Homo-oligomer: A and B are copies of this chain.
Amino acid sequence: MLELRLVQGSLIKKVMEAVKDLVNDANFDCSATGFSLQAMDSSHVALVALLLRSEGFEHYRCDRNLSMGMNLGNMAKMLKCAGNDDIITIKADDGSDSVTFMFESPTQDKIADFEMKLMDIDSEHLGIPEAEYESIVRMPASEFARICKDLSTIGDTVVISVTKEGVKFSTKGDIGTANIVCRQNTSIDKPEEATIIEMQEPVTLTFALRYMNSFTKATPLASQVTISLSSDLPVVVEYKIVEMGYLRFYLAPKIEEDEEMGVHAEAVETKSKTEAKPKKEMKAKAESKPSVMKTEDEEESTESKPLLKSKPKLEIKPDRETNGEVEVEVMDVE
């Protein structure tokens, strides 16, 4: 039996609003540790990871590990019916094919039960190894959201460059170019307005603004966002959920072919790292199974040096392809 009671119910409402447009269907995993979710977006370009630790719930009962497949759009519809001050309880009986969301108003005068059918979703749990990042930027979440929104009125991609002095966001489009620089700034009075840069090495990476904008739907969850960047790793955009955990988004950088390869630039402008540098160690371990991230099994066998043999990487394809048919077998491990 599962029964998770969250006094600050609006938290899970905000989480759903943040991820429902990115991911259609996904498994929520419940264990003694907490309530978590990990899923690729529908075009298999970005990855979402949510953790709500058990300690953050007022009441947390999870008799055995449970994986519940849900349509996130439908789940969001139901949670939207909870008041912002409501206490939300997630309930499921053992072996049941449905989950119940219970909403209690603060005065207990209004009690709602929403029951939703669960789905069978084939997916493997992708291991995301901890990594050292060359640059980590922490800045106000609303500032980051504003920058991504502003830049996408000008161009389609953002170049993020980190130096000791600050972080620069740039774009280019038909109507011109834009550069926005945020300087390091450690406001002691208002820590939520600080911009703090931890830099081992300067880094410059390019990302699709469409995804960045989608990630910033998590802005209501946290006052600050943390952006972790390394040349050969997907960026991590993290929103911490106070006393509970986090909502993280992973996105692989784009490669500007004309910059790094200098050929065929007209034909195909951007390609994934994997495609662009096929000889390097980032290459998929088994050619026949182009796993997006390594599975749990793989993680065990490469535990000590996860970044060497099978670094986490996300397949980035030119926009033409990600909008069309992509290989769904990436997620299906028989």
A107-B182 Cα distance, complex, nearest whole Å:
11
A179 at the interface (CB under 8 A from B): yes
CB-CB under 8 A from A113, the residues of chain B are 178-180
Q: How many residues of A contact B (CB 8 A)?
A: 34
Let me know if B182 and A114 touch, CB within 8 A.
no
B109 near A183 with CB under 8 A, answer yes
Closest partner residue, chain B, to A83 (CB atom): B146
Chain A 294-313 near chain B by CB (<8 Å), digits 1 or 0: 00000000000000000000
A37 at the interface (CB under 8 A from B): no
Interface 1/0 per residue, A167-205 and B, CB below 8 Å: 000000001111111110100000000010000000000
Question: In the complex, are the beta carbons of A109 and B175 less than 8 A apart?
Answer: no
Q: Cβ of A74 and Cβ of B178 under 8 Å apart?
A: no
User: How far, in whole Å, are A5 and B117 apart by their CA atoms in the complex?
Assistant: 56
Whether B81 lies near A153 (C-beta < 8 A) is yes
Asked whether, in the complex, the Cβ of A77 is within 8 Å of the Cβ of B112, the reply is: no
> Once the chains bind, are B176 and A78 in contact (CB under 8 Å)?
yes
Across the interface, do A112 and B176 meet the contact criterion of CB distance under 8 Å? no
Q: A117-B175, A176-B117 are in contact. Are A181 and B74 (CB under 8 A)?
A: no
By CB atoms of chain B within 10 A, which of A74, A143, A178, A195 has the most? A178
A38 → B minimal CB distance (Å)? 23
Interface presence of A71 (CB below 8 A):
yes
Counting CB contacts under 8 A, is A214 at the interface? no
- Name the distance in Å between A179's Cβ and chain B's nearest Cβ: 5
Can you report 21 residue pairs joining A to B where beta carbons are below 8 Å apart?
Answer: A78-B154, A78-B175, A78-B176, A78-B178, A81-B150, A81-B151, A108-B183, A110-B180, A110-B182, A111-B181, A112-B150, A112-B179, A114-B154, A114-B176, A114-B177, A114-B178, A115-B176, A115-B177, A115-B178, A116-B175, A116-B176
Interface, chain A (partner B; CB < 8 A): 71, 74, 77-78, 80-81, 98, 107-117, 143, 150-151, 153-154, 175-183, 185, 195
